[in-house]
A and B are shown apart, each in its own frame.
Chain A
Amino acid sequence: AQSVTQLDSQVPVFEEAPVELRCNYSSSVSVYLFWYVQYPNQGLQLLLKYLSGSTLVKGINGFEAEFNKSQTSFHLRKPSVHISDTAEYFCAVSDTFGFGNEKLTFGTGTRLTIIP
């Protein structure tokens, strides 16, 4: 069974500072990794995904993440945050990709708060 650990439940960051949100996963098979963002009072939307190929993945709104197989991590980064980045961020993993039942296992989320 797969699992996802988001080590920080809350991360406060000053505006224009860099941020890293941490995500570690465990799985006995090959995995596919995702970051979703949830803005206040909204549903989730896909920020970026890693399926294969380059381990550095770029997403929307200037975010990027790096897949590190040896450390089983998929940390999310942004070099300079904006007030509009205030949201909750979820890391997710799937190991049933493309075989009929695509199911995601989500982490517990990290609430990113941008301080003006």
Chain B
Amino acid sequence: NAGVTQTPKFRVLKTGQSMTLLCAQDMNHEYMYWYRQDPGMGLRLIHYSVGEGTTAKGEVPDGYNVSRLKKQNFLLGLESAAPSQTSVYFCASSYHPSGGVGNYNEQFFGPGTRLTVL
């Protein structure tokens, strides 16, 4: 099992350029998440998906779009990159929390993508 993988590992963009970050998981998880990590701010949820074909906004969704066309993949898109989007992006996945105490399902994180927007 590769777990959660992210492509690319590093990327430098110019302001206004677009790009897509790919997250893939081979654990058959229903839930997938995109976070950004900034110094002194911890991780903040951008978007998440509770299943194939469904997405929802997180805490900081502006400037990003996502798609979950296949269960194993979750794509994060930047249509017009801005310097404020310079960050480290983490993808995570988990099984559906089946409800009830004791059934918490751990989020598994990918290694991250370091994005710099000039």
Chain A contact residues, CB within 8 Å of chain B: 4, 9, 32, 41-46, 49, 51-52, 90, 94, 97-104, 106-109
Contact = CB atoms under 8 A, between A and B. Distances in A.
Interface residues of B, number: 30
Contacts, number: 68
A4 B110 CA distance: 23
Nearest to A36: B109
Given A43-B109, A43-B110, A51-B102, A97 B42 contact: no
B2 interface: no
Interface of B: 4, 31, 40-45, 48, 50, 56, 58, 90, 92, 94, 97-107, 109-112
Contact of B44 (A41, A106, A109): A106
B43 A90 contact: yes
B49 to A, nearest CB: 11
Contacts of B40: 9, 108
B109 A45 contact: yes
Contact of A98 (B43, B90, B104, B109): B104
